[in-house]
Structure formats: C-alpha cells, structure tokens
Amino acid sequence: MKPKQFVVIGLGRFGSSLAIELMEQGYEVLGIDRDEEVVEDMSELLTHTVVADATDEGVLKSLGVRNFDCGIVAIGDDIQMSILSAILLKELGVGTVVAKAISVLHGRALEKLGVDRVIFPERDMGIRVAHQLVTPNLLDYIELSKDYLVVELTVTDCMDGKTLSELNTRVRYGVTVVAVNKPSGIIVAPTAMDVLHAGDIMVVIGSNENVERFENEVV
C-alpha cells in the first residue's frame, strides 16, 4: 500500500521541493523546520507546518509523528541534527524513514541507525547529469542493481521507420525494449513488428555494458 501521510523534517531546498511535489501528487504533508521564516514561507503550500526542533522528542510525540506512514529527514548540512532526528523517527515507530545524506560516512551512519532508505541527492544528480551529457538522447535511467539498468531513450533518426525485429536489439546488443511511448500512446511489451519513429521514447533494459554499447551505436 502506498504511504498517504508524510512528515518532512527540514524545509531547505531539498525538503521543500520534495514536500511540495508530494502535495501536488495528492498526499498530506506535515513540514517541520526550526526556522520560523522558512515555515512561514511554506505554510500556505503544505497541509500543516510547524516551527519546531526535530531533535526534541516531546515535540515530535505531541505532533503525533508516530502515526505518519513515512518520515523524511531532509536536514543535510547539520549531520548531528540529521542523525538525531532520524533516531527519533525510528524510535517513535514512523513506518518508513528516509534520510538525505551529504557524504558517504553520513550515509553509513544513517544506515546503521536503521534508516530504511538513504538518499544522496547531490551525488545522484551529478551522476544523472553526467549520463545525460554523454548520451544526448538519454532522458532518464534507473539502476536496477549494480549491474543492470533501465534507460529511457529518444528514438533517433537512424532508427526511424525500423521495426524492433529489424533492430534486433536482443541479439545485436543484448538489450530488450520493454516499452515504447508514442504520441498515440504507450506500447508495453512491444512485438517484433512494432515500428519506431524518430521522437518516440523507448524504454530499454540490459546490463550496464550492453546498454552503454546500444546507446553509443544508436545516437
């Protein structure tokens, strides 16, 4: 079941954009920050906002934080504050605790505390942008594991008008096209006879090495 209520601790650049996006997707969000001005700026945009120190256990208890499905610790720069808030969210029994880390060591500490998901926004965005810069038709990618990737690529002119059977990606590159997004709609699990057109978006799965080989040959 999808979580419905989120508590976001720290409404800096990362926390505020995450909280606003959750609201736009229809979820309830409680935003907590110790900075009064920050909270005032966000008060109209979130379901509830509170000026509070997230390392104060009594305050978190009185806000009923334990009833939230998911808590996000979006404090980055102040590692001590981030760690203390993460401990409290775990101890209070918040369903899933996600925390932002600013360094590998910070991330390791959060994992050791039992944080369910540690994210490294700056590092991950750096990697993502680098991939997009070297592969101009790459729209997005997801690492399935250390060795496997799913990528979203724009179909280029060199593939225009070709069927998947003509491209023969499985045999030639060891990658599989799992979906094609066309202006007319998305084709999930396309067949060998489906035709690609320039501008369509293809979703491709394969090993890092094979996906990279495919990307380099079809740009």
Residues of this chain that bind ligand ADP (CB under 6 A):
9-15, 32-35, 38, 53-55, 74-78, 81
Question: Which of 38/196 has CB closer to ligand ADP?
Answer: 38
Least Cβ distance, residue 9 to ligand ADP (angstroms): 6
Least Cβ distance, residue 43 to ligand ADP (angstroms): 14
Question: Which of 110/153 has CB closer to ligand ADP?
Answer: 110
As given in the structure block, the two tokens for residue 40 are 């005032």
Question: Which of 43/168 has CB closer to ligand ADP?
Answer: 43
CB atoms within 10 A of CB 112: 9
The residue sitting closest to ligand ADP, measured at its beta carbon, is 12
CA distance 163 to 201: 14
Q: How far is CA 117 from CA 77, 88, 153, 161, in A?
A: 18, 15, 28, 43
Percent of residues in the chain assigned helix, strand, coil, to nearest 5? 40, 25, 35
Question: Which of 35/91 has CB closer to ligand ADP?
Answer: 35
As given in the structure block, the two tokens for residue 69 are 């499905």
Question: Which of 74/155 has CB closer to ligand ADP?
Answer: 74
Least Cβ distance, residue 8 to ligand ADP (angstroms): 10
| CA within 13 Å, CB half, 16 | 14
Least Cβ distance, residue 185 to ligand ADP (angstroms): 37
Element (H, E) at 105: helix 104-112
Least Cβ distance, residue 102 to ligand ADP (angstroms): 8
